[in-house]
Structure 1
Amino acid sequence: MLQKVQLSTDVTLVCTQHALSTEKEEIMGLLIGEVHNDGTLVSIVSSVILRRLDKKPDRVEISEEQLVQATLRAEELATEVGRPLRVVGWYHSHPHITVWPSHVDLATQSMYQRMDPTFVGIIFAVFLTDQSAKAPSIQITCFQSFNEGSTQSRREIELELTSNNKSLTLNNFEILTQLPTILKEEEDEAYKNDVGDNEVDDIINKQHNVAVRTIAIGHIVEKISRPMLETLVARNTINNIRLKALKKKHQELMSKLENTTNIQS
């Protein structure tokens, strides 16, 4: 029985940023990782951001095609890092509502557990407001589903945030930078569906649809792309400072080693 899940900080960043991309509808993605031989631990090392099939405030769906694509990506990563990676779970957001899974979430989780008993679900509750808090908060829960009589209930799984897997850091940041593109594709698809093939549609409706799409893309740039760029630039600056300090330390150690060698000779 699954007892614990380890989630790297890079994957947590990707999932959180995805969850914060919209406060009107739920988002979702799949998790790639490995299950240890004793079956008690899942180490989640990467994620796959999925385009929403339909924008809904209270539910999300995974298509068979998306699941196949994620499985193929897991196989590619497994070859790259030499580890038995596969799709081990899914995540989605709860904007403005409790972190606990709904009956729809439990039914979805139960369906995947029938195929894989170690399959896990993670929920990111975002934009939560509390009178005592100065800013909206974020809550995370990890769960599985089980039958309790004729109803389905949740079983909480211990969640541990771990240090990043260095072999997959580049992959995880590539996933993060794909987020604005995926969100834009969703808006383009929504615009295409609204416009349709109706050439006699009045000009007011056409202008309205164009304006909605323009505002949505502006939101992506302002709320996603710009903060993401600022975060990555800040992280690069910190890494450069650390690299400079490590080089200085390396020079000091090499100098001490050279002095010690000279004394011994």
Structure 2
Amino acid sequence: MANFGAKHLNNVILSADVYAVCLQHALTTEKEEIMGLLIGEVDDMNVSHITACVILHRSDKQPDRVEISPEQLCTASTAAEQLTHKLKRPMRVLGWYHSHPHITVWPSHVDVRTQSMYQTMDPLFVGLIFSVFQSDKGSVGNQFQLTCFQANSSSERRDVQVIIKNSPLEQYNLQEIAKLPRILAQEEVEKHDEENNECEDLLAELHNEAYKTLNLVHLISKVSRPLYEDLEARLNATNIRIRELEKVKKKLIEALIV
């Protein structure tokens, strides 16, 4: 068992671009939970600085749970090593995130038990939950919430303060969100191919193929296209900001010359 009393996480500083990637991932489906891993570094004050994430390929998709393979954990560790070399800072896997579609943001007993298991390997490991697609009677739209937690020595939830830090969209996080449509498409193909392998009826097989195609088209219209439009809007806003700064720079240079 991990010695939870030896040290604990004081709070979490989550970069805004990682928050955006995780939330975008959580909003891709309201039928099953999604999951990913968080990468960053912990300072001497036991404050976790999360600056990157890895979107995971789900081996099982359920409304109330999500599973990943051990290979996925190795993939995240490899990504952390690559960032260590790229940024010249000691990066490692610091936590995990998953979604709660249509239910409260609070971790279930299964979530706390999973978190406790992770903390046996790293007492500073942390969990984030994004509650999405919730609506109140008087609300005109969906609401989402975020919570950050660890497990204490009694295997109960311990809330951890999370601070979202303004940051630009880093290239490595941009690449991660760009992979999302491909990962979701792979999950759909694997799911329907597995069902067809167990199917001996030709009409049922054709029906499953048509359903797979329909779901892939749905992914393009509901995930890929909005994602592309969002990134294009970000690019346009960035270009406008660059032009504004160039004008300010020009005026400052002219003022110095005078």
2 CA distance for matches of 1:119 and 1:214? Answer: 39
Residues 113-132 of structure 1 aligned to structure 2 (within 5 Å): 113-132=119-138
Amino acid at match of 2:90: P
**Unaligned residue ranges in structure 1 (runs of 5+):** 260-265
Shift of 1:3: 1.4
1 CA distance for matches of 2:198 and 2:211? Answer: 18
Residue by residue over 1:184-242, the C-alpha shift from the partner in whole angstroms, topping out at 9 and shown as x without a partner, is 000111121011176xx222211211122112112211111111111111111111111
Partner of 1:263: none
Residues 247-262 of structure 1 aligned to structure 2 (within 5 Å): 247-259=246-258
Residue by residue over 1:8-40, the C-alpha shift from the partner in whole angstroms, topping out at 9 and shown as x without a partner, is 11111111111111111100000001010232x
2 CA distance for matches of 1:219 and 1:126? Answer: 19
Matched, 1:87 2:88: no
**Structure label with greater radius of gyration:** 1
Residue by residue over 1:30-85, the C-alpha shift from the partner in whole angstroms, topping out at 9 and shown as x without a partner, is 0001010232x000000000011111111122322111111011000011011110
Residue by residue over 1:79-119, the C-alpha shift from the partner in whole angstroms, topping out at 9 and shown as x without a partner, is 10111100000000000001000111011000010110000
Residue by residue over 1:122-159, the C-alpha shift from the partner in whole angstroms, topping out at 9 and shown as x without a partner, is 000000011121101000000001243xxx31111001
1 CA distance for matches of 2:51 and 2:14? Answer: 7
Partner of 2:44: 37
Amino acid at match of 2:257: E
Partner of 1:109: 115
Partner of 1:51: 57
Shift of 1:249: 0.7
- Give % identity: 49
Partner of 1:175: 176
2 CA distance for matches of 1:162 and 1:132? Answer: 31
Query: TM-score if structure 2 supplies the norm length?
Result: 0.94
2 CA distance for matches of 1:113 and 1:226? Answer: 38
Match for 1:60 among 66, 71, 75?
66
Match for 2:26 among 11, 19, 22?
19
Amino acid at match of 2:214: I
CA RMSD in angstroms, aligned pairs only: 1.2
Helix, strand or coil for the counterpart of 1:213?
helix
Aligned residues: 251
2 CA distance for matches of 1:127 and 1:239? Answer: 30
Partner of 1:242: 241
Helix, strand or coil for the counterpart of 1:14?
helix
**Unaligned residue ranges in structure 2 (runs of 5+):** 1-7
